[in-house]
Amino acid sequence: MIDALVSEAIALAAGPQRAVLGVTGPPGVGKTTLAEALMARIDDMQGPGWVAHIPMDGFHLADRQLRRLEALDRKGAPDTFDPLGYAATLDRARRETDTAVYAPGFERTLEQPLAAALVVLPRARLVITEGNYLLLDHPAWRVARGQMDAVWFVTADETTRVERLVTRHVEFGKTSSDARAWVDAVDQRNAEVVSATSARADRIVVNRDDDWSFVE
């Protein structure tokens, strides 16, 4: 089914302006996996540089700022990001087509944003952005949503989603018990916030073991 999703993503860029596709859904649902699969297939079809990537995670506030805000224990919640900075970067990516536009990435081993890790090259016609809060009904997040031509919401089996999150936290340094405690206390709360936004999506995409299908 990935080819059907790829075709729809490419069609977004049929107009004169560079297009932005958002991919959202709760933590652990497979947003990054889908974004990477789309980009790999589009690279094969359209050539390198035709599609670019600006993940929302690059706009995490650094731990230094989270300590200042006394929010380090809620890292990943909506207010631990910079949504207006995210919106401004997407706006630049849409408008500035004659020069490279650099964007921050997120370094999982450090759990910190990394400045200018990613680039949108002048030949890019489509930018894929993925993250939890693309459809959040909050003024700053609505500004970011306004820079996207379409947003797809990814769903998956709940047990699988939770186990993926636990595994991810263990891979990046947490003990199994600490990982499960973080998922229960932090990630699950964020997942409930994100799941409530699904009705605002342009498409629902179901992830069944990295096999993708639209909900009509």
Which pLDDT score, from 0 to 100, does residue 210 have?
A: 79
- Give all domains of the chain, ordered by start, each with its CATH number: 2-215 (3.40.50.300)
**Contacts by 72-76 with C-beta closer than 8 Å and gap 24+?**
73/186, 74/186, 75/111, 75/186, 76/27, 76/132, 76/186, 76/187, 76/190
**157 Cβ contact partners less than 8 Å away, ≥ 6 residues apart:** 208
Digit-by-digit pLDDT tens for the chain (216 residues) are 799 999 999 999 999 999 999 999 999 999 999 999 999 999 999 999 999 999 999 999 999 999 999 999 999 999 999 999 999 999 999 999 999 999 999 998 888 999 999 999 999 999 999 999 999 999 999 999 999 999 999 999 888 888 888 888 888 778 888 888 888 877 888 899 999 999 999 999 999 987 898 886
